[in-house]
Chains A and B, each alone.
Chain A
Amino acid sequence: MQPMGNEKPGPPNFPGRPAISPFAAAPQTAMPFLSSGAVVRSEAPGYGVAPPVRFNGPSVLTLPSSYVSPNVGFNQPFPTPHFPSSAQPVPPSRGPPSAPRPVQPSAGQQVLPPPVSFHSQPQFPSVPMGPPPQILNLATPTGNFPQSPLESSFPAPRPTPLPSWSPLESSSPAARPSLQQSFHGYPGRQGNTVTQVPPAQSPFPTHQGSYIPAPPAQSPPFLAHQGGYAPPPPLAATVGLNSRDQMQHPGTGPPVGSLQGLVEEFSFLSLGSAPGSIDPGLDSKALPRPLDGDVEPNSFTEMYPLNCNPRYLRLTTSAIPNSQSLLSRWHLPLGAVVHPLAEAPHGEEVPVVNFGPVGIIRCRRCRAYVNPYVTFTDGGRKWRCNICALLNDVSGEYFSHLDVTGRRIDLDQRPELTKGSVEFVAPTENMVRPPMPPLYFFLIDVSLSAVRSGMLEIVAQTIKSCLDDLPGFPRTQIGFLTFDSTLHFYNMKASDSFDYLLYGKIAYLFFTIRISSLTQPQMMVVSDLDNIFVPLPDDLLVNLSESRSVVDVFLDSLPSMFHDNGNVESAFGPALKAASMIMRQLGGKLLIFQSTLPSLGVGRLKLRGDDLRIYGTDKEYALRIPEDPFYKQMAADLTKFQIGVNVYAFSDKYTDIASLGTLAKYTGGQVCYYPSFQSANHNEKLRYELARDLTRETAWEAVMRIRCGKGVRFTTYHGHFMLRSADLLALPAVDCDKAFAVQLSLEDTLLTTQTVYFQVALLYTSSSGERRIRVHTAAAPVVADLGEMYRRADTGAIVSLFSRLAIEKTLYQKLEDARHSVQLRIVKALREYRNLYAVQHRLGGRMIYPESLKFLPLYGLALCKSMPLRGGYADAQIDERGAAGYTMMTLPVKMLLKLLYPSLIRIDEYLVKASAKVDELGNFSKRLPLAAASLDPKGLYIYDDGYRFIIWFGRMLSPDIATNLIGIDLSGFPDLSKVSLCEHDNEVSRKLMGLLKKFRESQPSFYQLCHLVRQGEQPREGLLLFANLVEDQIGGTSGYVDWILQMHRQVQQSA
Chain B
Amino acid sequence: MAWELILWLISFCIAMALLALTIYQLMCLSDMEFDCLNPYDTSSRINTVVIPEFVIQGALCVIFLLTWHWFMFLITAPVAYYNMKLFVKGKHLIDVTEIYRLLNGEKKYRIVKLIFYFVLFGIVIFRLVETAVTSLIDEDNDVYESGIF
Contact = CB atoms under 8 A, between A and B. Distances in A.
Interface of A: 629, 632-633, 635-636, 640, 662, 666, 716, 722-726
Interface of B: 32-33, 35, 38-40, 90, 93, 95-97, 99-101
A260 B112 CA distance: 61
B95 A632 contact: yes
B38 A635 contact: no
B67 to A, nearest CB: 37
Contacts of B97: 632, 635-636, 662, 666, 722
A666 B40 CA distance: 13
Contact of A725 (B35, B93, B95, B101): B35
Among B33, B96, B97, B100, the one with the most A-chain Cβ atoms within 10 Å of its Cβ is B97
A807 to B, nearest CB: 14
B96 A632 contact: yes
A725 B33 CA distance: 8
A636 B40 contact: yes
Given A629-B90, A716-B101, A726 B95 contact: no
A724 B38 contact: yes
B39 A723 contact: yes
A8 B31 CA distance: 43
A723 B100 contact: yes
Kindly list the 7 A-B residue pairs having the minimum CB-CB distance in the complex, ordered from nearest. Answer: A636-B96, A723-B100, A666-B97, A632-B97, A725-B35, A636-B97, A640-B40
Nearest to A632: B97
Contact of B38 (A629, A633, A662, A725): A725
A702 to B, nearest CB: 17
A725 B40 CA distance: 10
Given A632-B95, A640-B40, A726 B101 contact: no
B143 to A, nearest CB: 56
A602 to B, nearest CB: 15
B17 to A, nearest CB: 27
A633 B33 contact: no
Contacts of A629: 90, 93, 95
Contacts of A725: 32, 35, 38-39
Contacts of A635: 97
A71 B97 CA distance: 58
Nearest to B100: A723
Nearest to A722: B97
Contacts of B93: 629
Nearest to B43: A636
A662 B40 CA distance: 17
B86 to A, nearest CB: 13
A724 B100 CA distance: 9
A301 B90 CA distance: 50
Interface of B is mostly: helix
Contacts of A716: 101
28 contacts: A629-B90, A629-B93, A629-B95, A632-B95, A632-B96, A632-B97, A633-B96, A635-B97, A636-B39, A636-B40, A636-B96, A636-B97, A640-B40, A662-B97, A666-B97, A716-B101, A722-B97, A723-B39, A723-B99, A723-B100, A724-B38, A724-B39, A725-B32, A725-B35, A725-B38, A725-B39, A726-B35, A726-B100
Contacts of A666: 97
A635 B97 CA distance: 8
B30 to A, nearest CB: 12
A633 B35 CA distance: 21
Contacts of A726: 33, 35, 100
Contacts of A632: 95-97
A640 B101 CA distance: 19
B141 to A, nearest CB: 57
A524 to B, nearest CB: 31
B18 to A, nearest CB: 25
Contacts of B100: 723, 726
Nearest to A808: B101
B116 to A, nearest CB: 26
Contacts of A662: 97
Contacts of A640: 40
Of the candidates B93, B95, B96, B101, the one having the most CB atoms from chain A within 10 angstroms of its own CB is: B96
A632 B101 CA distance: 15
B22 to A, nearest CB: 23
Contacts of B95: 629, 632
Contacts of A724: 38-39
A971 to B, nearest CB: 57
Contacts of B32: 725
A730 to B, nearest CB: 10
A632 B95 CA distance: 8
Contacts of A636: 39-40, 96-97
A818 to B, nearest CB: 17
Nearest to A636: B96
Nearest to B37: A725
A635 to B, nearest CB: 6
A723 B38 CA distance: 10
A636 B99 CA distance: 11
Given A662-B97, A723-B39, 7 more contacts: A629-B95, A632-B95, A633-B96, A666-B97, A723-B99, A724-B39, A725-B32
Contacts of B35: 725-726
A662 B97 CA distance: 10
A640 B96 CA distance: 11
Residue with the greatest number of chain A CB neighbours at <10 A, chosen from B33, B39, B93, B101: B39
A139 B101 CA distance: 42
A25 B69 CA distance: 79
Nearest to B35: A725
Contacts of B40: 636, 640
A1029 to B, nearest CB: 36
B145 to A, nearest CB: 48
A633 B90 CA distance: 13
A723 B96 CA distance: 9
A666 B99 CA distance: 12
B129 to A, nearest CB: 44
B37 to A, nearest CB: 9
Nearest to A666: B97
B7 to A, nearest CB: 38
Nearest to B103: A726
Contacts of B39: 636, 723-725
Nearest to A637: B40
A635 B93 CA distance: 16
Nearest to A629: B90
A635 B35 CA distance: 21
A729 to B, nearest CB: 11
A725 B37 CA distance: 8
A722 B93 CA distance: 18
A580 B18 CA distance: 37
Nearest to A633: B96
A629 B94 CA distance: 11
Nearest to B101: A716
A902 B76 CA distance: 59
Nearest to B33: A726
Contacts of B90: 629
